[in-house]
Structure 1
Amino acid sequence: MTRVVSYNILAGGYSFRERGAKRTEQLLKIIRSAQPDIVGLPEGINPQVPGPMVAAELAEALGMQLVPGGLPTSRQDYQTAFMTRLPIVSVKHYDRPGILARPLLEVCVEEENGQHLTIFVIHLSASFNRGRAGGHIRMREMQEILKIMEPLRLAGKPHLLMGDFNTLSPKDAFTASALLKYVVGLDVKRKDKTLNDGHPYLDSVVPPKLRIFNPLLHIVARTPFLLALFDLAASIYAPRGCIRLLTREYQDCFRRLHPSEQGFTCPAAAPAGRIDYIFANSVLAERLEMCRVLETGEDDLPGEQASDHLAITAEFGAGVIADQPVTSSSDMSMHS
């Protein structure tokens, strides 16, 4: 049995609205509640903050190895990261300047029964303030990621893709009114307009040419009838293309086991949609035994006290052991 967790810990685990306070203990309570073997962190490391890193503290407390992802194209962005208690067989970073905003992180581990399992950790571009162009950016990223994973797919080797996709799945519900009220609330409380703390604000989701209507959005957020219209429009126009493309080749672990549940993951304080996923190839999906969203952690800690995303976890049974080449756990390869 192998249990994995995908968790966007927000800005590398720091709260910049609270003078850079760490959320290590809160995050540990969420992660430990799942008792994982593997943890993928889409916003695992904040390069702007000097060490010791929250991710390193998490790994040490959990008795896991930490693997940092490659540097993103923007110095203001966050690195992906990976933690595991299982032996690491290999690590690869895929840099695709002009295509991937953040390098794709690939880690192959050896499961307890000796099988090799390959995990890809991603954080797709948000670019919500670019309108439909943002959806095209994520589609381009997904097409490239599918190309990278193709050799494993053709070989039928177990692997999964997890992280923050910043995209809704086809047919999934979307309570845009909850998101709007959440974002407007953050905007009202925001004192430092230059603060980049990982939270969404109106300017980060509204295209520049439409920001003159920001005051109108404040009115919409307070008007039930307008909120209902906002939900209808957002549900129709919300981008879903890259998940539709991905599901042609991979199984959505949560939806496979929960066909009708919402499974909202973001924002944690006002869940409006599902944008955090664990996808498995067909071989691995046959081993899927559990997948759920972690709404609370140890001591019943609410997820919103740890991050702006809720974590998602999945468990895979042992399955049939296939013949595999013997590879030392110290064989670490880095590719661009």
Structure 2
Amino acid sequence: MRVMTYNIKTGGYDGSRGTRLEAIADVIANEVPDVVALQELRGDSGPWLAKRVGMRMVRARSSWGQPVAVLTNPDWTVLAAGSVARPFHHAAARVVVATLGGPLTVISAHLHPHWGWRRMHEARWLVNAVGNARLALVLGDLNTLDPWTDHHDRLRALPPPYRVRHLRWRPPGREHTDRDVGPVGRVDTRAIAALDAAGMVDVFRAVGEGPPETAPTALGGAEFSGMRLDYLFATPALAEHVRSCRILRTPTADRASDHYPVVADIDI
């Protein structure tokens, strides 16, 4: 089974410049995935992509941000589907499919882009949504850095308005300075730490191949400085069966979005 998570940047639409939907569809179709977690849907981009790549879609709408979706192989039996009923800034979609190994829960999420404390709470809601599921995946653009890496250089490279998104909040009068970028403990990694503390396994950290950074692509973006923001987390029982994980860097992916997709292969 092959799974993918992909932030497609504003639904693939670039205003008067047209769309990147064909390129996005090509990136997905070339990998022949069984499950795709999509973030930043807009308009009819979700239904269009699902039809184009021949998959079924479960979409979670957003009250403040952008919808997300889970696409599944049409040959699979869907046991349950819907949104995670929490006030996410964007949204989270939850699908349970039947596999030979048992029911598999898949959650596509897109965490808050600006505030680390909000991302932490959203990550805890994802843990609650997984519940007691033995086989579960949480995939998506989690918009946060991991607690195992020294992020000093990449944060120093960001303009201050974007750098502060990844630093712990301080009271008025105690503004962040460049010194706050050095020690890893001052970087806000609480969302990833919450998933790790719940026993979820960072799939790329466990079996990943190649460089871990998922943004930016050749499309660029001032808010990125060579960062891993897109993740796959698996329950321990599922993580045992993950065979590979990689960041998909191809010429098509370079122009399809500002994020690279993450792909994993699982024997289940």
- Alignment TM-score, normalising by the size of structure 1: 0.67
* 1:54 to 1:151, Cα distance in 2 relative to 1, 3 A: same
Aligned residue for 1:151, secondary structure, equals: coil
Equivalence map 1:6-25=2 (5 Å): 6-16=5-15, 19=16, 21-25=18-22
Whole-angstrom distance in 1 between the partners of 2:157 and 2:252:
18
* CA distance, structure 2, for counterparts of residue 205 and residue 250 of structure 1: 27
The residue that corresponds to 2:106 in the other structure is 119
- 1:36 aligned to which of 33, 37, 44: 33
Correspondent of 1:314 among 260, 264, 267: 264
Match of 2:31, SS? coil
Distance 2:206 2:101 in 1: 26
Query: TM-score, length-normalised on structure 2?
Result: 0.82
User: What runs of 5+ residues in structure 1 fail to find an aligned partner?
Assistant: 128-133, 185-201, 208-228, 319-336
1:147 match: 128
Whole-Å Cα distance in 2 between the matches of residues 250 and 26 of structure 1? 32
Write the distance in 1 (CA, Å) between the matches of 2:163 and 2:18: 26
User: 8 Å contact 1:161–1:280 — kept in the other structure?
Assistant: yes
The SS at the match of 1:57 is helix
Distance 2:62 2:139 in 1: 18
Of residues 158, 183, 187 in structure 1, which corresponds to 2:135? 158
* Partner Cα separation in structure 2 for residue 204 and residue 178 of structure 1: 10
Distance in 2, matches of 1:56 and 1:173, equals 40
| Alignment size in residue pairs | 247
Which of the numbers 86, 90, 94 marks the counterpart of 1:106?
Answer: 94
> C-alpha distance in 1, partners of 2:162/2:178?
18
- Does the CA-based 8 Å contact 1:176-1:231 persist in structure 2? no
CA contact (8 A) 2:156 2:178 kept: no
Alpha-carbon distance between aligned partners in 1 of 2:124 and 2:213, rounded to the nearest angstrom: 25
Measure the CA separation in 2 of the matches of 1:235 and 1:305: 34
The structure-2 alpha-carbon separation of the partners of 1:231 and 1:179, relative to structure 1 and needing over 3 Å to count, comes to farther
| Larger RCO: 1 or 2 (CA < 8 Å, sep 6+) | 1
Instruction: Give SS of 1:315's match.
Output: strand
Do 2:66 and 2:91's aligned partners in 1 also have CA atoms closer than 8 Å? no
Give the Cα separation in 2 of the matches to 1:34 and 1:232.
40
Counterpart amino acid of residue 140 in structure 2:
G
Q: CA RMSD for the aligned pairs? A: 2.6
Distance 1:242 1:272 in 2: 19
Whichever of the two has the greater Rg, that structure is 1
Question: Contact 1:139–1:242 (CA<8 Å) still a contact in 2?
Answer: yes
Percent identical pairs in the alignment equals 28
Q: What SS class does the counterpart of residue 22 from structure 1 fall into?
A: coil
Mapped to 2, the partners of 1:81 and 1:179 lie a distance apart of 32
User: How much does 1:205 deviate?
Assistant: 6.2
